[in-house]
Amino acid sequence: MNTVNPLYGRSLAVAGDLSVDEQRYLYRKTRELKENWRKNRNLESFRIRDPELAVYLMFLENSTRTKESFRNAACFHDVKLNVFDASSSSFTKSESLVDTVKMLFGYSRRSIFIMRTKMEGVCRALDEQVGEYAERIGMEKPVFINGGDGRHEHPTQEYLDEFTFLEHRNWDDSHLHVALIGDLHHGRTVHSKTEGLKAFHSVKVDLIAPEEMALPESYKSRMQENGFEVVEWGSIDEYLDGPDVSDTWYFTRLQLERMGDEIRERETELRKAVTFRKSHLDRLPEGARFFHPLPRHREKPVIPSFLDSTPLNGWDEQSVNGYFTRIIELAMVAGKLGDDFNGSSPVPESKEASFVSEVPVTRKTHVEDRFKVGIKPVENGIVIDHIAKGQPLEEIWNRVEKIRRILNLNVRSSHGVFHTNNPAEFKGIISLPDKQEISPTELKKLAAVSPGCSLNIIAESSVIKKFRLDMPPKIYNFAEISCKNPECVTYPEAYQHVTNYFFRTGGETFTCRYCGKRHAYGDIWDI
Ligand code: NCD
């Protein structure tokens, strides 16, 4: 195992799995490779050459470019290439992905799996599940590269797109003004742009799509959080009437196979809004160039074929770049390249930050004074106070009931809604005279379900300890929570046996670690 090279053995589940420095390293090396290849020079320093390294192409959804460029990249490297035939495999006998992969990686000393699935978050899940298994049996952890997972991400397409933009700009990474056009809702290549565009120091993004195909809010806010300027337009016509038209247009096709019937019925009208026409030509800025991850619809392409032999065509060179970037990606994760990398790598996940803080008990309040309105005073026990403080009454009652259900509080207790010191403001209280202790798991559940509440430990009718509970930074492995994206690898009915895991993002939203779906904190709960 190569311990110095930070790129060795890394899985690429999302574009952000490479830091910006690492992405730039990838582009630098690809540029070197492409130049040497063009000049017919020796390329040995890029080649892995290891018959014990297996590259598995596992494409459970159709693919042309991603699959063929990875296949050719693997052949370049002189490694063991396996093309997995999903249609005749045990998937048709309902085998789980992890069982299949565990078997395959036992055949070689080192393995790289390139996966395309409808299910989202598969590479992250396999990286963890198989990684743990590999450690247990003393094998080297396999690498998983996401070749497109549902509507989620397509990191290696992203890297080739950014490489192409840089190449087109003659390697100037100071600024990029890009227009993203088409089905931004379902298009995973666009979603990966939230992290990939960070390769440029300043970024302006114009989103051009009718509402039905608009970029999901969560990706838009991530772009804004990354410092991009984001402007939205409903159609190409509207955009061309605007004041600041970009010279870099990135089209995506309508992903009909991922659309519901209602949207599909309006295909003609939606397609029109994002299809380029002859009449648009003289409104383009000078030097404009079009890109597209391809494939194009042969009958109704958003970039019509009369543009193929014009200087607007940037998409053909773009698709060839997939071969060069993917050679370098394989070389990086296989440890052939990376020894000379000296930038920063992604920040490791932070350790469990505290969400429980003890607050001083200012005076040893006698419980009879404090919890006197309607609740029987507790001599010894626990009182949960400030539940949903300041919220509408209905929300406070809901929260009280939710806490009771989630903590399974079928014990002697009382609860109610009371006003705070301010007679116009309310809060919930639950008092538990038979409960002397609360476990860390219960505390976490309580914090997750009712952030901002407080916990009073009462002995001999006095509050002896008081804790304030904030929203925990991570919530995982609770039976009562689940990701609400039916395409997520953790979705219970997917039967991939992946434990749910959410981390807190921006205030009160929780993001699924696997498929990236953002949930309002109340929505992760099933009960
Ligand atoms: C894209 C994909 O599969 O997400 N194609 C590709 O990888 N070149 C875009 C698409 O299918 O529209």
* Domain assignment present for 424: yes
Q: Is the pLDDT of residue 46 over 60?
A: yes
pLDDT band at residue 427 under the 50/70/90 scheme: very high
Rounded to whole angstroms, how far apart are CA atoms 185 and 47? 38
Most informative mutation of 66, 116, 151, 153 for ligand 1 (most atoms within 8 A of CB): 66
**CA 67 – CA 83 distance, rounded (Å):** 9
Is residue 159 located within the same domain as residue 306? yes
Q: Which residues of 418-456 are buried (b: 16+ CB within 10 A; e: fewer)?
A: beeeeeeebbbbbbbbebeebeeebbbbbbbbbbbbbbb
Cα(189) to centroid(ligand 1), Å: 7
Token look-up 């990354």 returns: 226
Helix (H, G, I), strand (E, B) or coil at 256: helix
Beta bridge partners of 512: 502
Confidence category of residue 440, pLDDT binned at 50, 70, 90: confident
Q: Are residues 303 and 159 in the same domain?
A: yes
Q: Which of 107-116, 221-230, 254-263, 452-461 has the lowest mean pLDDT?
A: 254-263
Tokens at 447, concatenated: 């914090």
Closest by Cα among 196, 191, 195 to 207: 191
To the nearest 10 degrees (0 to 180), the angle between helices 65-77 and 155-168 is 80
Cis peptide before 304 (omega within 30 of 0): no
- DSSP three-state, residue 144: strand
SS3 annotation, 322-336: HHHHHHHHHHHHCCC
pLDDT, position 122? 97
CA proximity to 152, closest of 198, 196, 186, 126: 186
Q: Judge if 159 and 130 occupy the same domain.
A: no
454 neighbors 365 (Cβ within 8 angstroms): no
Tell me: do 235 and 370 sit in the same domain. Answer: no
pTM for this predicted structure: 0.91
Indicate whether 515 and 455 sit together in one domain: no
Test site for ligand 1: of 63, 154, 258, most ligand atoms within 8 A of the Cβ? 154
Residue type, 200: F
What DSSP state is assigned to residue 170? T
Beta strand 414-419 pairing with 501-505: unpaired
Q: Mean pLDDT across the stretch 410-419?
A: 90
The CA radius of gyration of the chain, in Å to the nearest whole number, is 27
Tell me the CA end-to-end span of the chain in Å, nearest whole number.
46
Mean pLDDT of 23-47: 98
Q: Is the pLDDT of residue 467 over 50?
A: yes
DSSP of 222-291: HHHHTT-EEEEESSHHHHHHSS---SEEEE----GGGS-HHHHHTHHHHHHHT---GGGGGGSPTT-EEE
* End residue of a domain, out of 281, 311, 341: 311
Nearest to 501 by CA among 97, 129, 40: 129
Residues 260, 170 share a domain: yes
Is 342 inside any structural domain?
no
Residues with CB under 6 A from ligand 1: 65-66, 148, 154, 157, 188-189, 252-253, 293-294
Domain harbouring 101, CATH code:
3.40.50.1370
- Give residue 375's pLDDT: 61
DSSP string, 53-89: EEEEEEESS--SHHHHHHHHHHHHHTEEEEEE-GGGS
Cα–Cα distance measured from residue 183 to residue 199, given in angstroms and rounded to the nearest whole number: 23
Q: Which of 122, 121, 77 is nearest to 98 (CA)?
A: 122
Cα(373) to centroid(ligand 1), Å: 63
Q: Does residue 372 surpass a pLDDT of 60?
A: no
Could you identify the atom of ligand 1 that is nearest to the CA of residue 188? 4
**Could you tell me if residue 486 is inside a domain?**
yes
Atom 6, ligand 1: residue with shortest CA distance: 293
pLDDT(1) > 50: no
Mean pLDDT of 369-373: 52
Same domain, 29 and 102: yes
Q: Strand 79-84: give its sheet, edge to edge.
A: 79-84, 50-59, 110-117, 143-149
Residue 183 alpha carbon, nearest atom of ligand 1: 12
Where a domain ends, among 311, 342, 372? Answer: 311
Round to whole Å and give the CA distance between 390 and 17.
40
Total count of domains within the chain: 4
Looking at the fold, whether 22 and 134 belong to one and the same domain comes out as yes
User: In angstroms, what is the span from residue 330 Cα to ligand 1's centroid?
Assistant: 20
For 261-310, what is each residue's pLDDT tens digit? Answer: 888 889 999 999 999 999 999 999 999 999 999 999 999 999 999 999 99
Taking the C-alpha atoms of residue 181 and residue 292, their distance in angstroms, rounded to an integer, is: 10
- pLDDT of residue 436 exceeding 80, the answer is yes
**Rounded to the nearest whole angstrom, what is the distance from the C-alpha of residue 295 to the centroid of ligand 1?**
7
Strand, helix or coil for residue 35: helix
Do residues 499 and 366 share a domain? no
In this structure, the number of other CB atoms found within 10 A of the CB of residue 505 comes to 17
Q: Which residue type is seen at 321?
A: N
Per-position DSSP letters for 333-357, written without gaps between them: HTTSS-TT--SPPPPPPPP----EE
Work out which ligand 1 atom sits closest to the CA atom of 293.
8
Question: 6 and 337 in contact (C-beta within 8 Å)?
Answer: no
Burial 468-500 (b: 16+ CB within 10 A, else e): bbebbbbbeebebbbbebebbbbbeebebebeb
Distance CA 414, CA 40 (A): 81
CA of 67 to the centre of ligand 1 (A): 11
Tell me the CA–centroid distance for residue 294 and ligand 1, in Å. Answer: 6
Domain, as residue range, for 496? 475-524
At residue 526, what are phi and psi to the nearest 5 degrees? -95, -20
- Please check whether residues 210 and 296 belong to one and the same domain: yes
Helix (H) or strand (E) holding 402: helix 393-406
Q: How many CB atoms lie within 10 A of CB 162?
A: 27
Please, which pLDDT band fits residue 94 given cuts at 50, 70 and 90? confident
Which of 187-196, 263-272, 370-379, 444-453 is least confident?
370-379
Question: What percentage of the chain reaches a pLDDT higher than 90?
Answer: 73
Please give the number of the atom of ligand 1 that sits closest to the Cα of 66. Answer: 7
Confirm whether 339 is domain-assigned: no
Choosing from 432, 452, 470, the residue where a domain stops is: 470
User: Is 182 inside any structural domain?
Assistant: yes
Pick left, alpha or beta for residue 121 (phi over 0 → left; psi -120 to 50 → alpha; otherwise beta). left
CA distance 490 to 496: 7
- CA nearest ligand 1 atom 8, residue: 293
When pLDDT is cut at 50, 70 and 90, the band that residue 421 belongs to is confident
User: Which regions of 460-500 does DSSP assign to beta strands (E)?
Assistant: 462-469, 474-476
Atom of ligand 1 at shortest distance to CA of 147? 7
Whether residues 486 and 424 share a domain: the answer is no
Which of 38-52, 268-282, 506-520 is predicted with the least confidence, judged by mean pLDDT? 506-520
**Mean pLDDT for the stretch of residues 24-37:** 98
CA of 252 relative to ligand 1 center, distance in Å: 8
- Asked whether residue 105 is assigned to any structural domain, the reply reads yes
Q: Helix, strand, or coil here: 274? A: coil
DSSP 486: T
The answer to whether residue 5 is domain-embedded is no
Q: Which atom of ligand 1 is nearest to the CA of 255?
A: 12
Higher per-residue confidence, 121 vs 266: 121
Q: Whose CA is nearest to atom 12 of ligand 1?
A: 253
Q: Is the pLDDT of residue 416 over 70?
A: yes
User: Ligand 1 centroid vs 151 CA: distance in angstroms?
Assistant: 10
**Region 90-100 average pLDDT:** 79
- Inside any domain, residue 9: no
Tell me the average pLDDT of the chain: 92
- For the CA of 65, the closest atom of ligand 1 is 8
Residues 145 and 52 in one domain: yes
pLDDT for the residue 263? 82
**Helices 20-38 and 155-168, axial angle in degrees (round to 10):** 60
Amino acid at 297: H
Structure confidence at residue 370 as a pLDDT band (50, 70, 90): low
